[in-house]
A and B are shown apart, each in its own frame.
Chain A
Amino acid sequence: MTPLAPLAFTAPTINYGLFAPVLFVLGAACVGILVEAFAPRALRFQIQVALSLIALAAAFVNLVLNWGIASRALIDPVTVGQVVTGSLIHDGATQVMWAMLLGFGFVSLLLFAERRVHGGVTAFTPMAAATPGSKAETEAAEAGLEHTEAFPLALFSLSGMLLIVAANDLLTMFVALEILSFPLYVLCGLARHRRLLSQESALKYFLLGSGASAMLLFGVALVFGYSGSFAYDGIVTAVTLSQESDRLLIGGVALIAVGLLFKIGAVPFHAWVPDVYQGAPTPVTSFMAVCTKIAAAGALLRIFYVCFGGARLTWQPVIAAVAILTMIVGTVVAIVQTDIKRLLAYSSVAHAGFLLTAVTGAATTQSGLADGQLGSVGAILFYLIGYGFATIGCFAVVTVVRAHGREATELSQWAGLGRRYPVIGISMVILLLSLAGIPLTAGFVGKFAVFTAAWQGGYWWLALVAVLVSVVAVYIYLRVIIVLFFREPAGEAEVTIAGPMTLIVLAISLIGTLVLGIAPAPVTNVIAQAAEFLHAVAG
């Protein structure tokens, strides 16, 4: 045992200009808590909506203004005897992922703010602490109460997501993962209707999520034990130079992968996805389905490409196996679902599998990819943009299709809906076709990009399997389209007139899906130029 170095602490230098987007979101979340404490109840909703939307817009503007600035470490602590790259890193990939998270976070918050479809209140329960069906709950509902805490909670979660995609050491990554998870556990339990389902989903997500984070943390501990460093570049150095046996390292990498694959929703760690997506309030589901997936995919990519990209570890076959399992299980189980939210949940599992094919390919500039081409990182980010637009749009449609004042999520209730409400019907068809990956939609371009990335990385057989599975997956979405247009109307579910917020969400997702499908070049160019990970930064 070597004696510990004397305790010395050097204050980190923080680049506030580049770090500002996170600070805006985190600051708005803290102010939101104060609003809950001090603002009069009647004004809280308006204040929270304005505060959170303005904060996200300000963060986005700040990000755009910083766009051209060269990559650098955001927070750069100088430790005794060695200079590490910093806990957070600002590179092209960070910029693109931040833009995606802020954009989709903004759109999801618009759904949070929808009140008209729910009869003048938000989708959140009047009193989460009250027992379902109790007198206290009824009184709170009659008084028109609502939990406006949902907005600061979503902002806290979003700030965790912004941190995790920029995290450049394992400890920061773990803390960011927990910051993004805890608010989501609470948000899942806040649904106004079907309280028992909502509470159940919160408990399931919490128990499984905390177990997965504990496994991830043990992985972090083992990697720390192996390399003596949390920073990614320190780990890379240790992996390259170390003469010790790899047991700690292999165990650590496996456990870290478990934690992140859980968040992405990959098989065999997908069991929570359908239950949580079904039980959570639909705006929260759309937020989780899109933003959590972006954040977890970003963290997974950075860890595998930057931190464990060294030659001593061959992780690709394992991820390839997970990808195949995820695609097949997600697709096959989605085909037999009768609840639209569960169907979208399994479809999101299948999409996680398609993403992982490109992760396996690992086509980056490090592996000989030409500059300006869409490598694995770029392909995955583009895929997530297309998936995000289509998914948020689908969940927006789910919130407006209602029967007896609640969401009609049974697929049988949707029979003939497209014929009675052509605008909603055709919008849903476009979004579903994008999820299916039909040409002229963003989903097609995204699928093409990730399969190409897998092919370029030498995993042509994985790309072939993925193409075959995605042909089968088309049936999931065709089934919904058939129910919408070719079944006799059941007459039970109705499309409720939605407020401007939901209509804006629907419009954004449709425009995004079609524009990225027909003319993807501007966006793919931006991503191809920007989205590479910074590998090593000298102090």
Chain B
Amino acid sequence: MNDPYIVLAAILFTIGLVGFLIRRNALVIFMSVELMLNACNLVFISMSQVHGILDGQVAAFFVMVVAAAEVVVGLSIILMIYRSRRSTSVDNLTAMKH
């Protein structure tokens, strides 16, 4: 199946994944994760159209809600780290290296 939307979503997902793996700022990593979630939404919606069923569009709403909840938890944790360290770089997270 060579649906162009799948290809586009895969490109978006890969950009998110690469950002997730190589970026060092917790906020940018988090944004990359959100990009990955949006790539998922694109697949859900386009595939919903291809198969002629609504399930995928409903799924997109679920994903949006989950992403919003993730922002609440994630930003509060990142803020907590920023306040105690004045930095959101994940390179500083080495207190437990053995």
Residue A120 at the B interface, CB < 8 A? Answer: no
B81 within 8 A of A: yes
Answer yes or no: B96 CB below 8 A from chain A CBs.
yes
Contact A214 B40, beta carbon cutoff 8 Å: yes
Nearest CB on A from B23, distance (A): 10
Q: Tell me whether A195 and B84 are in contact in the complex, defined as CB-CB below 8 angstroms, given that A2-B51, A228-B51 are known contacts.
A: yes
Residue of B nearest to A171 (CB): B59
Interface size range on B against A = 35 or more
> Within 8 Å CB of B6, what residues of A?
222, 225, 248
CA distance A339 to B96 in the complex (A): 10
> Which residues on the B side are within 8 Å of A230 (C-beta)?
55, 59
Task: Please tell me if the beta carbons of A224 and B44 are within 8 angstroms of each other in the complex.
Answer: yes
CB distance from A438 to the nearest CB of B (A): 28
Q: Quick one: given A185-B77, A210-B74, are A225 and B55 in contact (CB under 8 Å)?
A: no
Q: Mark A361-387, 1 if CB is under 8 A from B, else 0.
A: 000000000000000000000000000
Residue of A nearest to B37 (CB): A214
Say yes or no: B49 contacts A1, CB within 8 Å.
yes
Taking CB atoms and an 8 Å cut-off, the chain A residues in 173-209 that contact chain B are 174-175, 178, 182, 185-186, 189, 195-197, 199-204, 206-207
The answer, yes or no, to whether A430 is at the interface (CB within 8 Å) is no
Q: Cβ of A196 and Cβ of B54 under 8 Å apart? A: no
A203 to B95, CA, bound (A): 13
Contact residues of A: prevailing secondary structure: helix
Cross-chain contact of A189 among B3, B9, B53, B77 (Cβ < 8 A): B77
CA distance A79 to B3 in the complex (A): 26
Chain A positions 91 through 135: 1 when the CB is less than 8 Å from some CB of chain B, otherwise 0? 000000000000000000000000000000000000011011000
Which of B46, B70, B78, B90 lies in contact with A182, CB distance below 8 A? Answer: B70
Q: How many angstroms between the C-alpha atoms of A516 and B71 in the bound complex? A: 43
Q: Are A218 and B40 in contact (CB under 8 A)?
A: yes
Contact yes or no, A342 B55, CB < 8 A: no
Residue of B nearest to A227 (CB): B51
* Smallest CB gap from B12: residue in A: A218
Q: How far is the CB of A216 from chain B (nearest CB, A)?
A: 9
Q: State whether the Cβ of B22 lies closer than 8 Å to any Cβ in chain A.
A: no
A279 on the B face (CB < 8 A): yes
A197 to B98, CA, bound (A): 13
B51 close to A203 (CB less than 8 A): no
| Chain A residues within 8 Å of B37, by CB | 214, 217
The 0/1 profile, CB within 8 Å of B marked 1, for residues 337-365 of chain A is 11100100000000000000000000000
Residue pair B81, A129 in contact (C-beta under 8 Å): no
A59 to B17 Cα, complex, angstroms: 40
Q: How far is the CA of A211 from the CA of B20 in the complex (A)?
A: 7
How distant is B86 from chain A, measured CB to nearest CB, in Å? 10
Chain A residue at minimum C-beta to C-beta distance from B58: A171
A-B contact pairs, 10 of them (CB 8 A): A175-B62, A196-B85, A200-B95, A215-B36, A218-B36, A224-B56, A224-B59, A225-B47, A228-B53, A278-B96
